[in-house]
Structure 1
């Protein structure tokens, strides 16, 4: 056991004595987190621009447009009907709504047809505006239904609704979804750095084989198994420091709410870290030179991070690609984080934890088998 700690300490010294390694392991991940979260955070104040053609110009239609603006999510821009297509196509507005003449009369008679909307940006924009307008119109139609076509009665109830005699309490709440998305994308970047760091630390084995240090160590009472375990231990220490620094940066420096207990996030990231070490061992086992190891690690890390949802949500990828993503560990780590952010507990992430452990076990077994089968200490380039 003492030999394991001595060799692990030596690996840490060899790894961290270079300033470039310190930057790559600890500074770059935090800097990348800050940049990604700063860029994504700018989208919080963006408003949807609505081009408005109000043919009715009644009190009800004007109140509805004012209601949309008061949500803080939309900006109304008056336009002419003949200019609707040009404004939408040239992206002067995100969409246009056309309020027909007689809008208020249709409300009084409880026979309103849908308001026309024009957009080239699809349902992701129109659905949002429709939800708000439909909610407002539903409330007005309920008043029309209660007044049974009597305009004086309608106006009395409607004025009471506007003047808060029928009180509608509106409160602005913090958009949790943005912080959750920030956390997932930031941790996705951290996962990539964990993988890069783990493979780099594991590559020390190849470096020491090339320099014949490995041969000298194995000629002592220390066998190859103890040497590998010490490298894994050194890797775990580096990964734990990376994860702790990242969590401190997110919580204390960037002030991002992660919506889960810190220890749960630490657990998931450490499990992914163990998988990262397994990938590093695979790279070492199947490489015959440091150059080959670098190429192989790049070939593994970049595509799997893309498939696993480290750079963008998995949901935006085609269904076939989403099914393929089930075979990369990053996907299960990101999914576990999402479950925890949405109020789940450790039990809810049980399948994710089991799959991550299975990935680690398979990777270590394959790497061990390969190393035993081709345990050569010849020339390395």
Structure 2
């Protein structure tokens, strides 16, 4: 097990490896859990109707949350940067359709499903149902409708968006932290490809095969060493989440560990593929950096995929980080491992394809 031991020693001797796999994710985990979860919700409203009814509804929402004006252009940035918890879009002809007795559905966006965002949606839905009933009773009479609406808003206590616990907010923070754990594990792409390229650069790659060591043994030991590093990273970061921040990781810690470990197999496979394609250490490093951050962004490690443009959401289905985050989200929100079988199958399929491509490239070179 000379290759296995050598890789572990090399990892321990280089501080950069700790920074990539552990320190950077730890810093972002701390940021994910920073701040108070007891702050009042902030709701952005985009009013395309500018009617008396839309103004009344905004006033009603103000009893439940802080209301700010946003535009569709900056809405995504406001959500990503946590400046607003939810955004509600009031369409044109909103008042006209409501007074005509037609049901109107408002578009709403939020970063993560939580007790706060769910409460706001429930409040707005209840408000619209009541307004629809009043409009039906008024039968198109605006004066009667707005008189009833004014009385309703004076006397209606409403649903106050509060929670007896912070489990929803805690789950949001947990998913934000797990996104950076995935990002940290994805850094194994850089570590594994760099180690193999260093072996080639120092001619160790060729020397190994002048000994009884076979190509298969070399590859197996490499893979096992990277997976051991991944397992240690997962255990450390999960310990920080559970004992340091009391993160809500769902019904089973083992399930979360298993999904993260399967994802690390994908990371190792990509690293080995890069090492088989690159002709130098510089190329391997450049390819790794070109892949890691964009794929992490597309896959929802830094922000939810749901707030990205539709074309990016379609592209996201073809990157492994998406399937890792989907599986983790399902587990954190109470599901068991059998609910994420498809996500795990897709991740393993990614790994198999990358390993096969790396093997094909090596055999091709051997010719």
Q: TM-score, normalised by structure 1?
A: 0.67
Q: Which residue of structure 2 lines up, in the alignment, with residue 373 of structure 1?
A: 364
Number of corresponding residues: 297
| Residue of 286, 289, 306 corresponding to 1:295 | 286
Aligned to 1:34: 30
2:224 is equivalent to residue 230 of structure 1: no
**In the alignment, which residue of structure 1 is the partner of 2:79?**
none
1:352 equivalent in structure 2: 343
Give the superposition deviation at 1:128: 6.2
Task: Say if 1:311 and 1:48 are closer, same or farther in 2 by CA, change over 3 A.
Answer: closer
Counterpart in the other structure of 1:331: 322
1:130 partnered with 2:121: no
Counterpart selection for 1:23 from 19, 30, 33: 19
Q: Deviations over 1:171-222 (max 9, x none)?
A: 8322433222222221111212212134313321111111111221110000
Q: 1:22 to 1:324 in 2, by over 3 A?
A: closer
**The residue matched to 2:33 in structure 1 has which SS?**
helix
Whether contact under 8 Å (1:281, 1:364) holds in the other structure is yes
The equivalent residue for 2:231 is 240
Give secondary structure in 1 for the equivalent of 2:163. coil
Measured in 1, the distance between the counterparts of 2:208 and 2:354 equals: 25
Q: Is the 8 A contact 2:263 2:347 kept in 1?
A: yes
Residue 133 of structure 1: CA displacement?
4.8
Following the alignment from structure 1 to structure 2, what is the Cα–Cα distance between the partners of residues 17 and 171?
A: 50
Q: Which runs of 5+ in 1 are unaligned?
A: 51-63, 77-83, 85-93, 96-112, 115-120, 141-160, 163-167, 377-381
Calculate the TM-score normalised by the size of structure 2.
0.69
Q: Counterparts of 2:313 and 2:173 in 1: how far apart (Å)? A: 21
Query: Aligned-pair distance for 1:304?
Result: 1.2
- Counterparts of residues 108-127 of structure 1 (less than 5 Å): 123=108
Matched, 1:264 2:276: no
- 1:339 and 1:286 map into 2 onto residues whose CA distance is 35
User: Unaligned stretches of 5+ in structure 2?
Assistant: 45-58, 70-86, 89-98, 101-105, 111-119, 135-154
Deviations 1:112-161 (A, max 9, x none): x89xxxxxx985598565346568999x9xxxxxxxxxxxxxxxxxxxx9
Give the equivalent residue in structure 2 for 1:91.
none
In 2: Cα distance, 1:185 partner to 1:47 partner: 18
Question: For residues 242 and 49 of structure 1, what CA distance do their matches in structure 2 show?
Answer: 38
Q: Which residue of 2 aligns with 1:183?
A: 174
Question: How far apart are the structure 2 equivalents of 1:131 and 1:315?
Answer: 21
Instruction: Note closer, same or farther for the CA distance 1:374–1:213 as it changes in structure 2 (3 Å cut).
Output: same
Q: Is the 8 A contact 1:275 1:329 kept in 2?
A: yes
Cα distance, 1:12 vs structure 2: 0.6
Deviation at 1:294, TM superposition (A): 0.9
Shift of residue 296, structure 1, vs aligned partner: 0.7
Equivalent in the alignment of 1:173: 164
The root-mean-square deviation of aligned C-alpha atoms, in Å, is 3.9
> Aligned equivalents of 1:122 and 1:327: distance in 2?
27
Any idea what SS the aligned residue of 1:35 has?
Answer: helix
Q: Which has the larger radius of gyration?
A: 1
1:350 is displaced (CA, Å) by 1.0
C-alpha change, 1:302 and 1:26, in structure 2 (3 Å) is closer
Partner of 1:6 in structure 2? 2
